Amino acid sequence: RKEVEQDPGPFNVPEGATVAFNCTYSNSASQSFFWYRQDCRKEPKLLMSVYSSGNEDGRFTAQLNRASQYISLLIRDSKLSDSATYLCVVNDFNKFYFGSGTKLNVKP
Amino acid sequence: SAVISQKPSRDICQRGTSLTIQCQVDSQVTMMFWYRQQPGQSLTLIATANQGSEATYESGFVIDKFPISRPNLTFSTLTVSNMSPEDSSIYLCSAGPQGGELFFGEGSRLTVL
């Protein structure tokens, strides 16, 4: 079983749409959680950390459900520039495991 | 934040040869890791580079194939030994504080003929 599982997509959405990505993780003892963004042929970059209380950064909202071992990312009012692959990342005792990524295509 | 420089950024190598990738971080960091990203796939953790001691390898990766050095808190190398076409991939160095955000180098794109 993979450490981190994501729907690979692609999600094709029009500009202005709201889109949600989900991720599940296998180790209930995992300590911290992140969403990273990776553009084509570029390295991953941190989008946001994920906390149990949920956190919001502009159009982006991340949530963690420890009981269900589930992480989500919500993007509101999608922009063309949001097109990328979104990677769910789990920190297990200072090892970072990446999901397969969910590809988002925002179209005009 | 940390700025990570990797070199080479890309290389084309012959089967059976070895290539060493260097990773330099602009500040002292606790954690350094090496990842591999094959075309169209996500990142797979190869190993944790431990300062002054042997690296900790993930399942499926061994020291003889991927020897790693980390002589200090800002520098690490990954060697891909006895290369085959299956080793063609992007190799990414990453670093960060314990429990915090991971930063990545731009990657080293390796093609093995």
User: pLDDT digits over B40-64, tens only?
Assistant: 888 999 999 999 889 999 999 999 9
Q: For residue A92, how far is the Cα from the chain centroid?
A: 17
User: Which of chain A's residues have a Cβ under 8 Å away from the Cβ of B25?
Assistant: none
Q: What is the mean pLDDT of residues A62-83?
A: 96
The nearest alpha carbon in chain B to A42 belongs to: B106
List of residues 6+ apart from A53 with CB closer than 8 A: none
Strand order of the sheet with strand A60-65? A4-6, A19-25, A70-75, A60-65, A55-57
Helix then strand then coil, in percent of chain A rounded to 5, is 5, 55, 40
Residue A105 — very low, low, confident or very high, per pLDDT cuts 50/70/90?
A: very high
Residue B30 — very low, low, confident or very high, per pLDDT cuts 50/70/90?
A: confident
For B85, counting Cβ atoms within 10 Å of its Cβ (0-12 exposed, 13-18 middle, 19+ buried), the class is exposed
pLDDT at A1 over 70: no
B5 Cβ under 8 Å from any chain A Cβ: no
Among A41, A56, A44, A43, smallest CA distance to A89 is for A44
Tokens describing residue B67: 């020897």
- Work out whether the CA dihedral A30, A32, A35, A36 comes out positive or negative: negative
Give residue-wise pLDDT tens across range A33-69.
Answer: 999 999 998 999 999 999 888 899 999 999 999 999 9
Q: How far is A3 from chain B (nearest CA, A)?
A: 11
Tokens describing residue B43: 């990142």
- How many Cα neighbours within 13 Å face the side chain of A11? 26
Residue B74 — very low, low, confident or very high, per pLDDT cuts 50/70/90?
A: very high
d(CA B93, CA B43): 11
Q: What is the mean pLDDT of residues B103-113?
A: 95
Among B108, B25, B46, smallest CA distance to A95 is for B46
A95–B33: do the CB atoms touch at under 8 Å?
yes
User: Which of chain B's residues have a Cβ under 8 Å away from the Cβ of A34?
Assistant: 101-102
Q: Which of B41, B48, B105 sits opposite A95 (nearest CB)?
A: B48
